[in-house]
Structure 1
Amino acid sequence: MSARPLPSSPPSAQGVDATGVLAFLDAVESTEAIEPHSLMILRHGRLVTAGWWQPYTPDRPHLLYSLSKSFTSTAVGFAVAEGLIGLDAPVLSYFPELDAEITDPRSRAMLVRHVAAMASGHEEETYDRAHALDPDDLVRGFLLLPPDHDPGTVFAYNQPATYALAAIVQRVTGESLTAYLRPRLLDPLGIGEVAWLTDRSGREIGFSGLHGTTDAIARLGQLYLDGGVWEGERLLSEEWVAEATREHTATAPGVTADADRADWECGYGFQFWRSRHGYRGDGAYGQFCVVLPEHDAVIATTAATDDMQAVLTLVWEHLLPAFRPEPLTGREDADAVLARRLAHLALPQAPGAPAPPERGAQ
C-alpha cells in the first residue's frame, strides 16, 4: 500500500521560521563531512518541510542502520501490551532449549529489560565474539558469552542485545518483525513497503537492516510524540512510550551537566537515545528520528556522514531557534523561498562516507 500523505502546512502557520530551516540547509550543504539525503520536519502534527537530495526521492527506501532498533522497540511495546513478553522475565526463559548449556549466573540473570536498555552487563560490543561462538545462532553465542558485570549495571552498545530482543518477539509471535508490525504499526500509520534484512537463521536481525522511507521515520516519531496515539486512535500504550524514551542506562556516568554532554552521553532508553534536547532514534551515518516534545516537533533525516554529532549540532544551532511558540505573521515570502529551495534540492552532492559492513552499523 502507498502511504497516505501527511497533513502539511506553511512553516509560519505552525510557528516555524523558514529562515532557520534555510540556514540549516546552507549549513549541512556547506559541511564537507556531511552528505545530506533527506529532511522532513513536522510541527504540531503538520509537515512543514520535506526535501530530498539527488538521487534520493520520497519513495526510495533508505537503509536505516540502527534506527531500525527503535522499530524493534516498538514491536516489543506491542508484545508487552499483549502479554506475550515480560520485561522482568529472563532472556533465557524464551529459549528453553539453551537452558542446560547456559550456566553463567550473570547470563542466566539477564532480563528482557536489560537487553532493551543496552545493559546486558558486557563492557563492550559482543557481536564478533558471539558470532564466533555460534555462527548459526547469535542468541546462543550471546548467551554463551558471560557478562563482565551484573546485568543492569553498565552500558555497552551491543548489537546482540537487540538481536536477542528481536528474536524474542519473533519467537513469541511466530512472525517476523515486519509481519508483526504490519497490522499494528505500519498499516495504521500509512507506511508502505519496508524490507528488513535476515540472517542465516531466517530471523530479521532487529539491530539494523530495516529499509524504509524518510516518511516512515517521520511517522514513527510523530506516533511517539503523541504518546502512542495516531489520528485519534491509540496504537501504542502511553506507558510504553514513556518507558522506551526515558533514561534507563547512563551512557556517561561521570558527566552530569547537559551543557557538557555530547548527544551520546545523555543516556539510553529502550532502543532510543536521550539527547541534549528530547530523544531520538539513531542510525549510523546520519539516520535520525529526533523527537522534541518541548517544541511539539519531529525531525527526520537521512544522510551519509562519519560525523553524526555535526548533524545534531546543526539541528540544535539552526532548527531549535526556528521553533516559535506562536504562528508567525507576514512571513509568506520566507515560506515561499524555502518552498523553492526544497523543490530544487535534487542537485549532485559531493561523495559521502562509504557504506559500512551491515553488522558493524550503529
Structure 2
Amino acid sequence: MTTSPGDRLAELARAGELPGLHAVVAVRGGRTVLEHYGVGEDFRWGDALGELAFDAGRRHDLRSVTKSVTALVYGIALGEGLVPGPDEPLLRSFPRYPELAADPARARLTVEHALTMSLGLEWNEDPPYDSPANAEIAMELAPDRYRYVLELPVVEPPGTRWTYCGGATALLGHLIAEGTGRSLPEYARAVLFSPLGIDDVEWMAGADGVASAASGLRLTPRALARIGELVLAGGAWDGRPVVPADWLDAMLRPRLETDWGGRYGYHWYLESVDGLRMVAGFGNGGQRLFVLPELDLSVAVTAGNYDQPEQWRTPMTVLGQVLLPALA
C-alpha cells in the first residue's frame, strides 16, 4: 500500500530529515493533497519572532519568492500598457540619471536584462544578508537605491551571464510603480491578489518606505499555493484572465543558465525533477513555490533555515520524497 503524503512527511520529520520545516500546502487539480504546519523559530526579515506554532492563518516571509510574484505583476502591468516591454531601453525609464544613460556600456541595458538578471554589473549577494558587503543590503542602505544599482561598475556586456541580483528586481518594482502611478503593493493587491481572493497580504518596505520587490512579501502558504495554481491555469482564475497568457509563455521560457546548471526565465527558475518539468520561485531559508504542470501540482513550502548552506534540502525532500512518490 502506498504511504500517504501526510504519513510519509510525519515519518521523515520524526527521523530528522525535515529540519526547519514550517509549513507545506500542496494542491493538485484544485484539491489540497497535503497541508502541514509545524513549530519553529522564525524571523520577519531580520527581526526575530521567537518560536511560533504555524497555522493556516499565519503569514510567512517569502523572501526571494517575492521576485517571482513581482514578475507576474510586471506582466499584468505590461498587458495594460503601463510598463515598458522587455526589448525597451532600461535607462529610458530613469531620466533623472542622464549621465548614466549617456554611458554607451549602460545604454545597452534593456528591461529584459533586468528580468533575466543579466545586467552585467558588479553585484554580489554572497555575503550574509545582515552585512553591508551584501549588495542587496548595500542597496537598501544607499540614499538612492536605483542609482546605486545602475551606477555599479560594468563587468561584462549585458545578457552574457545570469548573476543573482535583487537590484534587478528593485528596478522592475520601480517601473511598475512609476507606470501604474501606484505603489507596488497597492497595484499588486488590485490586479493579482484580490482577483485570487487573497486578502491577507503584507509587503515589507525598506527604510525609505519603498516596498521590497525582491524579498518583502509575506503571505500564508495557502495563498502562495494559489499563485502556483494561477500559473497552472495559464494565468486565469475562475475563468477570468488575471495574468496575460502570452506573458506567462514568455516568463517561463528558458533564457539563461544558473550557476548550478538550471535554467532561468523572467524571474522564475525552470528545472526538472524526476523527469518532470518544474517552474519555481526560490527564497532564502527554504521558501519555495514549486509548480509541476504535468501533475497539475502547486506546492508551497515555508521554512526557517535562513542563510544555511543546505537550506534547499528540506523543501526538495518534501517534493522528492513525500509528494512525488505518492502523486507521480
* Structure with more contact order per residue of length (Cα contacts < 8 Å, sep ≥ 6): 1
TM over 0.5: yes
Alignment of structure 1 residues 105-184 onto 2, 5 Å: 105-122=104-121, 124-125=123-124, 128=135, 131=138, 135-184=142-191
Structure 2 match to 1:295: 295
Structure 1 match to 2:267: 271
2:80 equivalent among 79, 82, 90: 82
Tell me if structure 1 keeps the 8 A contact 2:301–2:315: no
Does residue 1:318 correspond to 2:322, yes or no? yes
Give 2:61's aligned amino acid.
L
Q: What's the offset of the Cα at 1:134?
A: 7.9
User: Sequence identity, in percent?
Assistant: 31
* Residues 285-339 of structure 1 deviation map (CA, whole Å, 9 limit, x = unaligned): 1111100001111111101123233124312233212115xxxxxxxxxxxxxxx
Alignment of structure 1 residues 1-362 onto 2, 5 Å: 19-31=4-16, 34-54=19-39, 55-85=53-83, 86-122=85-121, 124-125=123-124, 128=135, 131=138, 135-252=142-259, 264-277=260-273, 278-305=278-305, 306=308, 307-314=310-317, 315-324=319-328
Describe the SS at the equivalent of 1:211.
Answer: strand
Cα distance between partner residues in 2 of 1:194 and 1:129:
23
Structure 2 runs not aligned, ≥5 long: 40-52, 126-133
* Residues 133-167 of structure 1 deviation map (CA, whole Å, 9 limit, x = unaligned): 98111111111113211111101001111111111
Describe the SS at the equivalent of 1:274.
Answer: strand
Higher strand share: 2
Q: What's the offset of the Cα at 1:125?
A: 2.3
Tell me if structure 2 keeps the 8 A contact 1:130–1:138: no
- Aligned CA distance change for structure 1 residues 187 and 92 (closer, same or farther; 3 Å): same
Structure 1 runs not aligned, ≥5 long: 1-16, 253-263, 325-362
Higher helix share: 1
- More divergent stretch after superposition (32-41 vs 82-91): 32-41
Cα distance between partner residues in 1 of 2:154 and 2:14:
43
TM (norm. structure 1) is: 0.77
- Aligned CA distance change for structure 1 residues 32 and 201 (closer, same or farther; 3 Å): same
* Residues 9-68 of structure 1 deviation map (CA, whole Å, 9 limit, x = unaligned): xxxxxxxx6524422342245336721111111111211221211311111111110011
After the TM superposition, which parts of structure 1 deviate over 4 Å for at least 4 consecutive aligned residues?
Answer: none
- Aligned CA distance change for structure 1 residues 170 and 146 (closer, same or farther; 3 Å): same
- More divergent stretch after superposition (276-285 vs 128-137): 128-137
Larger Rg belongs to = 1
TM (norm. structure 2) is: 0.84
- Aligned CA distance change for structure 1 residues 101 and 153 (closer, same or farther; 3 Å): closer
Describe the SS at the equivalent of 1:24.
Answer: helix
* Residues 85-114 of structure 1 deviation map (CA, whole Å, 9 limit, x = unaligned): 211112211110112344432322111111
Cα distance between partner residues in 1 of 2:120 and 2:10:
41
- Aligned CA distance change for structure 1 residues 29 and 110 (closer, same or farther; 3 Å): farther
